[in-house]
Amino acid sequence: MAVEYLITSFISLFLIVDAIGNVPLFEALLHGLAHRERVRTITLSIIVSLVTLIVLTYLGIYIFNFFSIKLYSFKIAGGILIFIIALQMLFGIRQRLSAREESEVVKRTDIAIVPMAIPLQTGPGAITTGILLSTRATNLTTQVLLLFSILLVFLVSYIIYVRAEFFFKLLGETGTKVITRIMGLILVAIAVQFIMDGTGEAYAAIKAAAAV
């Protein structure tokens, strides 16, 4: 059970963070920077993404309680959001920056936080996935495994980004697109499972309330 949770959480988060799909965009954003500056920018973006995701993942449940949001409601809503993002990956539709945002990025001396960390890595999809996974972490073991999964996802992402030139040359544009499509397909299945779990819990809650 623990191993299954570890694998599921790692795959879910790795797919939604989409380091491989971000390689071409990161290459464009880091174009012209010296290797040392590239590594510094990537490192900062990873740290910001990692900390943001960990904090929101583990505080999500308290946010639910504050706003009186049922977990099954968030599972359904979160599953739908992840499903939409997965479809975008599947059909090659990537979120683009507006002309104004692109202009601001060019002017900004440090792009590590925006857009590299947020929203390209820790965006709505990653945050939603992290919170949904935390609802399944019902004991200390799974909570630790979730934290380990998040750390592992960003460690692998860091390696991919630092070696982006190598990976981009190895995969090429076509290879990157193919892998992104496959990742999108897997993510669709994960999103559907979240929706089914939430729907099942909602039905059980309604049934129990009607029986009272």
Cα–Cα distance measured from residue 53 to residue 129, given in angstroms and rounded to the nearest whole number: 10
* Half-sphere exposure (Cβ direction) of 181: Cα atoms closer than 13 Å: 8
Tens digits of pLDDT across the chain (212 residues): 789 999 999 999 999 998 988 887 787 788 778 889 999 999 999 999 999 999 999 998 888 788 888 878 888 888 888 888 788 878 877 655 555 555 554 444 478 998 899 888 998 889 999 999 998 998 999 999 999 999 999 999 999 999 877 877 777 778 877 887 888 888 888 889 889 988 998 999 998 888 86
Q: What is the pLDDT of residues 153-179, one digit of tens each?
A: 999 999 999 987 787 777 777 887 788
Predicted local distance difference test score (pLDDT) of residue 55:
95
Domain 2-211 has CATH 1.20.58: no
Segments making up each domain of the chain, as ranges: 2-211
pTM: 0.78
The CA R_g of the chain, rounded to the nearest whole Å, is 18
Q: At what angle do helices 164-211 and 71-90 cross, to 10 degrees?
A: 150
Residue 151: φ, ψ to 5°: -60, -40
**For residue 100, how many other CB atoms are within 10 A of its CB?**
8
